[in-house]
Amino acid sequence: MQENSTTTTDKYSDEELIRNLPGFENKYITVNGIRLHYVVGGQGKPLVCLPGWPQTWYSLHPVAMQLAKEYRVIIVDVRGMGTSEKPESGYDKKTMATDIQKLVMHLGFEKVSLMGHDIGGMIAMSFAFNFPELTEKLIVIDGSHPSEGLYQMPLIPSPGTFNEKMDSEMPYAWWMGFNQVKGLPEQLLEGRFHLLQEWLFKYVMIDESKMTALERAVYANAYNDKESIRASNAWYQTFNKDIEDVKHYQKLPMPVLGIGSYISYNYMNYGLPFVADDLEVVGIMDSGHYLFEEKPQEVLEIILPFLAS
């Protein structure tokens, strides 16, 4: 069942933000037992885009208009994100990929290409693993499916590596542990999520000024309540299940493109060949984690030829 969302004057609402993407429109749909929000625009082959933490569909706006010149672009607020529903369970990447599969089937597409950033990259990979017959091409940007390598992440940083910017050789992602904790983050961050967000953007971006004041306000608003913090942390709390799932998957048969920032390129270049044969991995080494904001044109110059080839 397709529904229209309620009209609101909130300047950070989907209805107001979509004005920044002429030709796109908001949609809501109930699939796999939950209500999802997505935006859609453009014509051509379908490209499903999945955002990451701590962002929403709006993180694709620096590249969405250009992509929509060639493709039917569907940007989804995944389970627990933005104005999509935030149930108590179902945050393992296989279930979240099934949400997307049900959406794809409802929209009537025989095959789609997928592009995921961060957590969205994990979900996009799970979709490709579980529904290869529906997957034309796969793009993962600074995030790939959880694997046993996560167990090797340090509890404390190596001496001299925990500075103002994330160290590419010895990255210290302390929030991966913090987000595992149930109950406490909501209590600490409700109404104050911008404090974590501002620190994070500065730490993982080379040029944090590329994350605009509006974008910061949109994401702070989206994660500022207990339910949103609980739901988004659940993406991390299911990593053990995700790691077990990936042990049973076959290698990806479709063309796969990995794009890494200075933080993630080496890790993606090492790890992705274990799960994909038809693979290209590209580094944008003068960008931090939020590549759509820091280097949108460079991202497009890599994505568009891959999709068209």
Residue pLDDT, tens place only, 286-301: 999 999 999 999 999 9
Q: Name the DSSP letter for residue 157.
A: P
- CB contact set of 118 (below 8 Å; sequence gap of 6+): 51, 52, 53, 55, 141, 142, 143, 289
Residue-level pLDDT at 9:
53
**Cα R_g (the chain), whole angstroms:** 18
**Side by side, which strands form the sheet with 71-77?**
2-3, 25-31, 34-41, 71-77, 45-50, 112-117, 135-141, 256-261, 279-284
- pTM attached to this predicted model: 0.96
* Burial (CB count <10 Å: 0-12, 13-18, 19+), residue 182: exposed
Distance CA 164, CA 152 (A): 23
3-state secondary structure of 264: coil
- Residue 8 in this model has a pLDDT that exceeds 70: no
- Residue 1 in this model has a pLDDT that exceeds 90: no
Residue pLDDT, tens place only, 126-182: 999 999 999 999 999 999 999 999 999 999 999 999 999 999 999 999 999 999 999
Rounded to 10°, the helix 239-246/119-130 angle is 30
Average pLDDT over residues 38-46: 98
Q: Does domain 2-308 have CATH number 3.40.50.1820?
A: yes
Contact 294, 263 (CB under 8 A): no
Residue-level pLDDT at 4:
42
Please name the residue that has the structure tokens 């949108």: 296
Distance CA 71, CA 58 (A): 18
